Amino acid sequence: MRNKLSHFAIPYVVWMALFVVAPIIMVVVYAFSAAEGGFTLDNFANMGTYAVVFGRSFKLALIATAVCLLIGYPVSYMMSKEGPRFQRAAMVLIMLPMWINFLLRTYSWMSILENNGLLNRLFQRIGLIALYNQVFGTDIEFFHMLNTQGAVVLGMVYNYLPFMILPIYSVIIKLDHSLIEAARDLGANSFNVFRRVILPLSFPGILSGITMVFVPSVSTFAISKMLGGGTDLLLGDLIEQQFLGGAYNPQLGAAISLVMMVIVVVCMVVMNRFGEGEEQAVML
Amino acid sequence: MKKNSAFNRIFTALVFLFLYAPILLLIVFSFNKGNSNTVWAGFSLDWYQKLFRDRLIMQSVYTTLLVSLLATAIATAAGTFAAIGFYSLRRRKRAALTTVNNIPMMNADIVTGVAMCLFFVAFFTLWSDFAVWFNGVQHVIELPTRLTLGFGTLLIAHVTFNIPYVILSVSPKLRQMDKNLVDAAMDLGCTWMQAFWKVILPEIKPGIVSGALTAFTMSVDDFIISYFTAGSSSSTLAMTIYGMTKKRVTPEINAISTLLFVTVLLLLVIVNIREARLERRGGQAAVRRRGPLAQRVSRTLSTPKGQWLRRGTAAALAAAFVISVTVLTSATNAQSVVNVCSWGEYIDEELITQFEEETGIIVNYQTAESNEALYSLLKSGAGDYDVIVPSDYMISQLIEEDMLAELDYGNIPNFDLIDQRFKNLPYDPENKYTVPYAWGTVGIIYNTAMVDEPITSWGAMFDTKYAGNVLMFRNSRDAMATALLYLGYSLNTTDEGELREAFQLLADAKKNGVYQSFVMDEIYQKMEGGNAAIGAYYAGDYLTMLENNEDLAFVIPDEGSNWFMDAMCVLKDAPHKEEAEAWINFIASTDANLANMDYIWYASPNEEALEQYPAYYEELYEEELDPAIYEIMAAPQEILDRCESYLVLPPETRMLYNTLWTELGI
């Protein structure tokens, strides 16, 4: 009977071969071919030129992931300590923004951060800018917030924070309470209970949270275009530019995608070695 | 556990404020009278009314819901079977397959999107060879030879990234299931099919439902993968919004988002209230129920009381399936459509409606960002248009690459109305491929409230005095042109030294922080809102901005500038060539040109329209057209003499442009 049921997997295996494996093979083929056809390594030869972009993307994505973790972990932890009714409402509130398209939410940030945007107007109104000018002897009319790397990080944190909170929360909520009681009975104070029991046990959640924030952050192109002003490219922008943007060169685009994919996979494998048992981690 | 302190609660509250501030803003401004997202002009419901009349948005909402529902239904069924199959496999095989299954989830969306786009296009090429051969050897079945990206590929892509989420939530339920149950059922005489329906399925149902919900949410939220796989004929709401964020987002989008948001909110509230009631009745046992929302919803669905909900869902899925089959079949029927790709804010949309009413041909109107982006869209196979409106130099390039169809001017009698001086231009010397659409000049737009002296030179685009306040073109040809003009070189230079010098000028200015950002149509919002002082852009668009901000001035600098002609062409293998020619003829008419001139403020190539426009304006607005404005709109010959038009560059130079352009971004 087991064998019969295993036939159920066949259609999907075919589907995966067609639409998961074959497309990735296409990327590899493109990465190693010249525009006129034929094998070449030229697409990789210039990869050094783009090292800056790789560096910038990984830096911003790492910062965003760290910020998400620093905000997301405490929030998940505190949520788990509230009553069931609060938790329910909080879960709804965290998932709800995903139903408003992320481009629109990001666009909304544009109008908040603009030089003449809502935040700067607010600062002018309450005299913060005048105060700043007085203290630092400057003569500014607004804070320059949009089109900076900080704005890009803010966009990433804003869009991907729920992906950090949800897996961590769902791990913490399933913790066996008798473990915590046992630790306390054995004389651990609350800091030690947290550090020695809760934190290690919530590790799988943290790991999948990190993955779910880091991967989209490192490859985004819409957020950086909208909040970063498009002057400093990120990896996603670079790839998009080679395919549908202003510098058509799909072979180079495929090569960059391939390198990015390899780096990300290596990072994930290394990270998962640190936290065996990640299989239990819940995604969303 | 200890309760949270006040400090902790404030922290949590702040995080929620952070999550909701932009959303509240969206909702508030959907009721705004004006079309700004920052300035409140009074309460109104106008945008909601407009929304339901806006076909582009409604169509994309429909596509989004349809593709999400279908993909969810297919992925849920397929994913459930696959999970059961995986579960029944031997450990080693299972581990290998699970790894492959995780690829779409772990991979960056952009890589998945790009990979699928490449795959589909390669497949289409193979298919077309096969179909031609197949149609040649037999005549019983006629296979379509030309496949394109569209709803089908979009659906496949969505199903592919949804299945892993379903498997992910079904697998744990299978693992929790008591294995002996199945064996017991078999021992008691069940066939394995019965065992599946009667034993396995009820056990894993909660996993299936939560997988379906996750898949649906992912589908609705997705932008990047759709962007690469949907082609030009179907666009999801996310893609429509992305197109708009590049110029102006109409508050109609705020309105539709508010509606979606409120609907989901209500649904969730209802589900939660029901559950809270059950809990109160159910006592202890129910209180223990916690966990992710998806799981709780699924539990609600599987209670007897949730039966109506379940039936509703089933009915909705069935309805979606029927609708989509109808849509797909009707779409494949040769319906009168024409796919047009133009630039943003480049047509009076009334004309589209008018054309549709007159001819019954549906216009699918899309926009591209720049000539270079249009070229990428065409080359990558992501853009499948009939009519495009590229500029002069790009037309030459497309002709050179044999991508345009020769027009049948017998179908375009209005071509005779085009001014003689705009016929047989260098990009199409024998005028076999094009009908001019509009022309204009490039210049510097500046805000007189933010710049204290009149600007007369392209040097302003590189001057550190204006650091952080300058907007530069986000396309290589125009951006390089500003530098070439300043340096006194030809816009069409192929000299590598001159080009590198121009590039260096741009790169240094960028390094010194002169540029606030690289923009295309985003410039409207930035210049109108006084968020930048100086920007180079097109004359017609300046006049549109002037309507919203009177402080703006326009100048064609002393060094000269570029004058351009955008012309309508039909792509070589366009499936709707006749409709395309009907559209071109309609747009070339004097009436359409007058309406367009009035709306987009670009000069018309139609001789009558160009002459009549000042009178037309006077009649319409009952005031005289300011000659200065007319001069900016339709530059007189002596200004055009100072300007140079772009010519197509040889392939090596184009390659150099691409390389330099990519380098500038680094």
B552/B116 Cα distance (integer angstroms): 45
Partner-chain contact B475 A246, CB within 8 Å: yes
Write the CB contacts of B504 (distance below 8 Å, at least 6 apart in sequence): none
Chain A neighbors of B518, CB-CB under 8 A: 229-231
Assess if residue A11 is contained within a domain.
no
Which of B311, B327, B343 is a domain's end point?
A: B327
- pLDDT tens track for B84-123: 889 888 888 888 888 888 888 888 999 999 999 999 999 9
B235-244, B311-320, B492-501: range with highest mean pLDDT: B492-501
Residues B14 and B55 in one domain: no
Assess if residue A221 is contained within a domain.
yes
The values of phi and psi at residue B344, to 5°, are -65, 145
Write the CB contacts of B589 (distance below 8 Å, at least 6 apart in sequence): B414, B417, B606
The H or E element spanning position B516 is: strand B515-519
Partner-chain contact B78 A100, CB within 8 Å: no
B116 touches A: beta carbon within 8 Å = yes
Question: Closest Cα partner for A64 from A137, A153, A126, A170?
Answer: A153
pLDDT at position B243, please?
82
Q: Is A63 helix (H, G, I), strand (E, B) or coil?
A: helix
Place B328 in a pLDDT band, splitting at 50, 70 and 90: low
d(CA A200, nearest CA chain B) in Å: 17
- Please compute, for residue A93, the number of CA atoms within 13 A of its CA located in the half-sphere on the CB side: 19
Residue A239 belongs to domain spanning: 54-244
Residues B81 and B26 in one domain: no
Task: Please count the structural domains in chain A.
Answer: 1
Assess if residue A268 is contained within a domain.
no
Q: Judge whether residue B603 has pLDDT over 60.
A: yes
- pLDDT tens track for A131-160: 998 888 888 888 888 889 999 999 999 999
Residues B12 and B100 in one domain: no
**A residues 204..233 contacting B (CB < 8 A):** 211, 215-216, 218-219, 221-222, 226, 228-233
Residue B24 belongs to domain spanning: 6-42
pLDDT at position B311, please?
53
- pLDDT tens track for A222-262: 899 889 887 788 999 999 989 988 888 899 999 999 999 99
CB of B445 within 8 A of CB of B524?
no
Partner-chain contact B82 A249, CB within 8 Å: no
- pLDDT tens track for B150-189: 899 999 999 999 999 999 889 888 888 887 888 888 888 8
Assess if residue A37 is contained within a domain.
no
Mean pLDDT score of chain B, rounded to an integer?
86
Assess if residue A113 is contained within a domain.
yes
What pTM value is reported for the model?
0.86
For every residue of B403-457, DSSP letters joined together read -BPPP-GGG-GGGGGB-GGGSS-TTSTT-SS-EEEEEEEEEEEEETTT-SS---S
Q: Judge whether residue B253 has pLDDT over 80.
A: yes
Assess if residue B67 is contained within a domain.
yes
d(CA B636, nearest CA chain A) in Å: 32
Q: Judge whether residue B450 has pLDDT over 50.
A: yes
**B residues 274..303 contacting A (CB < 8 A):** 275-276, 279, 287, 290-294, 296
Stretch B378-387: mean pLDDT, rounded? 87
Stretch B19-44: mean pLDDT, rounded? 88
Assess if residue B637 is contained within a domain.
no
Higher pLDDT: B383 or A214? It is A214
A70 touches B: beta carbon within 8 Å = no
Which of B327, B344, B372 is a domain's end point?
A: B327
Residues B88 and B226 in one domain: yes
B344/B104 Cα distance (integer angstroms): 33
Residues B80 and B37 in one domain: no
pLDDT at position B201, please?
87
Assess if residue B193 is contained within a domain.
yes
Partner-chain contact A231 B518, CB within 8 Å: yes
Residues B314 and B250 in one domain: yes
Q: Token digits for B502?
A: 């121009």
CATH number of the domain where residue B296 is located: 1.10.3720.10
A55/B409 Cα distance (integer angstroms): 54
Assess if residue B616 is contained within a domain.
no
d(CA A67, nearest CA chain B) in Å: 12
Q: Token digits for A227?
A: 């909040």
Q: Judge whether residue B304 has pLDDT over 60.
A: no
pLDDT at position B440, please?
93
- pLDDT tens track for B213-222: 889 888 988 9
Chain B neighbors of A111, CB-CB under 8 A: 25, 37-38
Percent of chain B with pLDDT over 70: 91
Lowest mean pLDDT: which of B242-251, B312-321, B594-603? Answer: B312-321
Q: Token digits for B139?
A: 């005549």
CATH number of the domain where residue A65 is located: 1.10.3720.10
